[in-house]
Chain A
Amino acid sequence: MAMLEVKNLEVYYGVIQAIKGISFEVNEGEVIALIGANGAGKTTTLHTVSGLLTPKSGQVIFEGEDITKVPAHRIVSMGMAHVPEGRRVFAQLSVYENLKMGAYTRKDRQEIEESLRSVYKRFPRLEERKNQLAGTLSGGEQQMLAMGRALMSKPKLLLLDEPSMGLSPIFVNEIFDIIRSVSESGMTVLLVEQNAKKALSIADRAYVLETGNIVLDGPAKNLLEDDSIKKAYLGE
């Protein structure tokens, strides 16, 4: 059984249909990339999976449970964490407070401390700046904070929306190294990226979205070699 199953999802903004009946699945331990151009519906898909948007029809099934109509705040404690586009860290709160906010749904104090230590271990820069206001961090550091904050909820599935957006090439590489290492530690990842080359380089499988439809899917390696992908998304 897949960890996440999305079936015939249709999402509307008012009268405009953004997602036109897509289906895909994410198995435990996989890194799945959703790639596509601006406006293809990648972010909308993630928002629907994590409950920020409710689809007009179709289903989202997480670990065998239908969560299509479950509000976002209740999905978090079921084991899904969503790192939104543009990081959305709490700028007026300190780095430490942001991380604590990530553990909002958890009650096990000692284990929260343990998670905090492991986040600091993964992102030493966050520990160095733990008392700094999140708004004063650089873009790359904010991305690390957003990911660390998501990890604080102890998720089984991590949704990442455009983690490389607006970052310098050095930070892009660093962020992708982190995603890889998070995945190697056993995390299942659903990654939305415009940087198709980078995304495909770390993904197991990928789905290509075009104006609300999945037009292609398969193992990431094969897609990297696919001529139409090369032409449309890899700039080759």
Chain B
Amino acid sequence: MSFISYLINGLSLGSVYAIIALGYTMVYGIAKMLNFAHGDVIMIGAYVAFIGMSQAGVSPVIAVAAAIIVCTLLGIVIERVAYKPLRNASSSLAVLITAIGVSYLLQNTALLVFGANTQTFPSVVSWGGITLADGAMNISGVTIVTIVVCLVIMAVLITFVQKSKPGQAMRAVSEDKGAAQLMGINVNATIALTFAIGSALAAVAGVLLCSAYPSLTPYTGAMPGIKAFVAAVFGGIGSIPGAFIGGLLLGVIEILGRAYTMSQLADALVFAVLIIVLLVKPTGLLGKKIQEKV
């Protein structure tokens, strides 16, 4: 019984990683950059929801909506101010270092505004969950909601990218920016849209993460951000289903690792798995081999 409950908890944590990893992977696929500030957008989203619920006293739905709006705008502003001017920079290191800088900027701004004290995040899910096997197993409401939200996001996102016009534009831009422009696609707007979607998802992830693990500090986003990045690479960076599978696997490995080995080992285990996967399959589980153009 306990194995199943660990597994479900792992899938739930993995769902959070998957939602964050989607942001990484979409931005990478389209702008060809690693947005290391992505994890900190999660933290900002969590703080916005926290302030909404604890201080402004609004309902969880409104608090989550506010978090999504703030993070979406934040994502667009970060891209416009910090990354866009570097898009044609000769070295891709410039934008990578800038992303790390933005990450610290967000953390320290949060430190200044919200303080260093750990806040206790009130869960946005008030439902107690379900009890199975005559009380032997309890699955919390947050756990179930997180998994369901992740599945819905995945389905919507895949349909959006495959079927909608902006989604088509994203696929074209991710393959060839110049050719996309010649099709009449506004490349800058498409990249901004990608950041907006990724950041909105980060807000959702932040709220779900803090509902399950309620301590909130300015550094809350850092570790899940890195793990979600690992998940994205694990699944094959640039691939949306890859981020999903990578995220879920990572969450399950982490929770099972914590349960059956030493809990201090869990994080090491996660990164060890990444190293092994990359040794065997450098492009990740679902990653496409990049063909060099002649």
Contacts and interface: CB of A to CB of B under 8 A. Distances in A.
Interface of A: 50-52, 71-74, 76-77, 81-82, 84, 86, 88-93, 97, 100-102, 104-105, 135, 149-150, 153
B178 A76 contact: no
Contacts of B185: 73, 104
Given A104-B165, A135-B291, A88 B179 contact: yes
Interface stretch (B44-52, B72-80, B167-175, B200-208): B167-175
B175 A90 contact: yes
Contacts of A150: 182
Given A86-B293, A89-B179, A92-B171, 7 more contacts: A72-B181, A73-B181, A81-B182, A82-B182, A88-B179, A90-B172, A153-B184
B176 interface: yes
A167 B288 CA distance: 27
Most chain A beta-carbon contacts within 10 A, residue among B168, B179, B186: B179
A86 B179 CA distance: 11
Nearest to B168: A101
B186 A73 contact: yes
B288 A102 contact: no
A143 to B, nearest CB: 14
28 contacts: A51-B181, A52-B178, A52-B181, A52-B182, A71-B181, A73-B181, A73-B185, A73-B187, A74-B184, A82-B182, A86-B293, A88-B176, A88-B182, A90-B176, A90-B179, A91-B291, A92-B171, A92-B288, A93-B171, A97-B168, A100-B168, A101-B168, A101-B172, A102-B183, A104-B168, A104-B184, A135-B291, A150-B182
B115 to A, nearest CB: 45
Interface string B254-273: 00000000000000000000
A219 B168 CA distance: 43
Given A90-B171, A104-B165, A135-B291, A77 B176 contact: no
A50 B182 contact: yes
Contact of B175 (A82, A91, A102, A149): A91
Nearest to B179: A88
A51 B182 CA distance: 9
A52 B182 CA distance: 8
Given A88-B178, A91-B291, A76 B171 contact: no
Contact of A92 (B169, B175, B178, B181): B175
A72 B182 contact: yes
A137 to B, nearest CB: 13
A215 B4 CA distance: 79
Interface of B: 165, 168-169, 171-172, 175-176, 178-179, 181-187, 288, 291, 293
A101 B185 CA distance: 9
Nearest to A74: B184
A207 to B, nearest CB: 22
A93 B182 CA distance: 16
B67 to A, nearest CB: 33
Nearest to A149: B183
Contacts of B176: 88, 90
A92 B290 CA distance: 11
B293 A84 contact: no
Nearest to B181: A72
A108 to B, nearest CB: 14
| Residue from B179, B182, B185, B291 with most neighbouring chain A CB atoms (10 Å) | B182
B160 to A, nearest CB: 15
Which of A51, A82, A90 has the most B CB atoms < 10 Å from its CB?
A: A90
Contact of B183 (A71, A74, A76, A135): A76
A86 B172 CA distance: 16
Given A86-B293, A104-B169, A76 B184 contact: yes
Nearest to B169: A104
B175 to A, nearest CB: 5
Nearest to B190: A73
Nearest to B175: A90
A84 B171 contact: no
Contacts of B165: 104
A91 to B, nearest CB: 7
Contact of A84 (B179, B184, B187, B288): B179
A168 to B, nearest CB: 16
Contact of A93 (B175, B178, B181, B293): B175
A88 B293 CA distance: 10
Contacts of B291: 91, 135
Contacts of A74: 184
Nearest to A50: B182
Given A84-B179, A88-B178, A73 B184 contact: yes
B178 A84 contact: yes
A65 B209 CA distance: 54
